[in-house]
A and B are shown apart, each in its own frame.
Chain A
Amino acid sequence: MTALDYFVLFGTILGIATYGVLATRKIGGFDTYLKGDQRIGWGTIGLSVMATQASAITFLSTPGQGFQSGLGFVQNYFGLPLALIIVAGVFLPIYRRLKVYTAYEYLGKRFDGKTRLLGAALFLLQRGLAAGITIYAPAIIVSSVLNWPLDLTILGTGILVVIYTVSGGSEAVSLTQRYQMGVILVGMTLAFIIVLVKMPDHVSPDGALAVAGVMGKLNAVEWNFDINERYTVWSGIFGGLFLSLSYFGTDQSQVQRYLTGRSLRESRMGLMFNAVLKIPMQFFILLLGVLVFVFYQFEKQPVFFNEALWESQKTGEHAAAFTEIEERFDAVQQEKAAAIERFLAARQAGDAVGEAAARTTVTDLEAQSQNVRTEAQAALLKADANLKASDADYVFITFILDYLPQGLVGLLIAVIFCAALSSTASELNALGSTTTVDLYRHVWKPAADDAHSLKASKFFTALWGAVAICFALFANLVENLIQAVNILGSIFYGVVLGVFLIAFFVKWVRGTAVFWAAILSQTLVIILFFQLEISYLWYNFIGCALTMGLALIIQLMRPGQPSLAKA
């Protein structure tokens, strides 16, 4: 990175953070701190919701996913539009009508205090740990490729986000997210244009897409109803609906974003903005990865994109084996490049026979190339079983650093940090609000006035920031924690969604029934987790179905009139 890149990078992220602090410095009340002053329009809400969901790892991993597996991952988002319609039509009007600060406060109004506490506790547990990962995951990648000290990168990111989130509360989060998302969209669009411009002169965008198509990278839609297939239209619609409903409808980090709207209309429009644009955005980020893949068919591609790791092994005791793999990979890539040239020439000349022959050769050589890359990963693991043998997260950042012009490298690194800051800010804001509203004011200090609650909210936001930073600092010592956090989220998410679905749609079920159903379901999910060998994502569905089913059964065994017990 050059001085210009550093200027663009720090100018962008510090400029937005400073704006967030200054624009919200007059915010004084507790209500304004938690919900903003409710003058925010749909565009800001839409960008804020989008920025909260898109963490830094989205912009590092998604192009890498496109590079490796093509466009199929986009199907994961197919349930999102319907989920957002349900949230906008059912969840949102109720949250606004009851004037709640948090989603769990609604559980208190609908059921009782203990159910509210249960929902808040489950959220704090999973989101508290996830906030640390949101800071850690991009820091480990950026510090690795730029040779920055990891601890300093984590501390710098963490302290910056804590400063403006604590200072301006919910409004600072929404306002900064508007500009952070703007930087992200501009940066990704420029990267998209540059990868097309950097293709060889004789490779048009149409030709590049044809090459991607030959190599099976444009498989965006899979209609097969095969539950063993990872990404299909059906798993995307049904599984995605379930996950999106739980995330957008019950996760306070999202609920708090759309509750800042100046009216129900603005909040709904903000959600519809995401319902329409999220899938095309993910499609283009994946397509960017696919185009980077095509670009590397004409340029020298590293056999393993975490080059620092690869080089350290290449100069180690297994140097000969690593050099041999690299040479073999380069030879296959050269042969493949020649076959691609033949394919493009035949396609341009309208030579169907030549095109078909070249297509077969390209496909075979791509399979060989993938085999060598798999060998490279196996060699890394053989050399050291603790190494991370996946390089998907390093593909896009390697392209940025090696091929983007000065200034734009800084902008694209700023994109990564903007994404990290925006999603972490939402998480800390939600954690601070939930701790204050659902624990501190509800249990410990029910008589606290607004001034006291405001101080408490700032304190808890800062405290969660400190927890997230500490977790990120120690995450590198316990690498498996990341996996553990993901599993933990899936184990608890389903039960929480089940509680909310009962609250919204089954009016005759009361607090005690749903509380014990949630406790029982959570226990069963944890037992099943240790007994079954299924993907942990399934526990989202199992937890929700169990909670709803048991709540209905328990309520039927304890018949009574429904009521809106106040928390």
Chain B
Amino acid sequence: MSDSPQPVPDTEDEARTGLAWLSSWSAVYRAVLVVFVIVVLAMWGFEVYYG
């Protein structure tokens, strides 16, 4: 969450995610969708367990 003093040009940065295990943006987007599906299934499981 730290704020750096220098803006970074998009041309250098556009393809980078800075994450070792999700190196491309498409991988990040896929991971977000996977998390979404897991969250929905977890909420459903919660409902079924206590319902």
Contact = CB atoms under 8 A, between A and B. Distances in A.
A41 B2 contact: yes
Interface in B1-22: 1-10, 13-14, 16-18
B10 A264 contact: yes
Contacts of A97: 10
Summarize A's interface: helix, strand, loop or mixed: helix
A85 B28 CA distance: 9
A74 interface: yes
Contacts of A212: 50
A238 to B, nearest CB: 14
A558 interface: no
A47 B50 CA distance: 32
B15 to A, nearest CB: 9
A541 interface: no
Interface residues of A, number: 43
A321 to B, nearest CB: 37
B51 A213 contact: yes
Interface stretch (A273-281, A309-317, A404-412, A438-446): A273-281
Given A41-B2, A74-B43, A221-B44, A263 B7 contact: yes
Summarize B's interface: helix, strand, loop or mixed: helix
Given A38-B7, A81-B36, A263-B7, A71 B47 contact: yes
Interface in A92-123: 93, 96-97
Contacts of A283: 39, 43
A78 B32 contact: no
A362 interface: no
Given A44-B1, A212-B50, A220-B43, A279 B10 contact: no
A93 B29 contact: no
28 contacts: A39-B4, A39-B6, A41-B1, A71-B43, A81-B36, A82-B33, A93-B14, A97-B10, A209-B50, A218-B46, A218-B51, A219-B51, A220-B44, A220-B46, A221-B40, A221-B44, A262-B6, A262-B8, A263-B7, A263-B13, A265-B8, A265-B14, A275-B32, A275-B36, A276-B32, A276-B35, A280-B39, A283-B43
Interface of A: 37-44, 71, 74, 78, 81-82, 84-85, 88-89, 93, 96-97, 178, 209-210, 212-213, 216, 218-221, 233, 262-265, 268-269, 272, 275-276, 279-280, 283
Given A84-B32, A265-B17, 18 more contacts: A39-B7, A40-B3, A42-B1, A44-B3, A93-B14, A97-B10, A178-B1, A209-B50, A213-B47, A220-B43, A221-B44, A221-B47, A265-B13, A268-B25, A272-B28, A272-B32, A275-B32, A283-B43
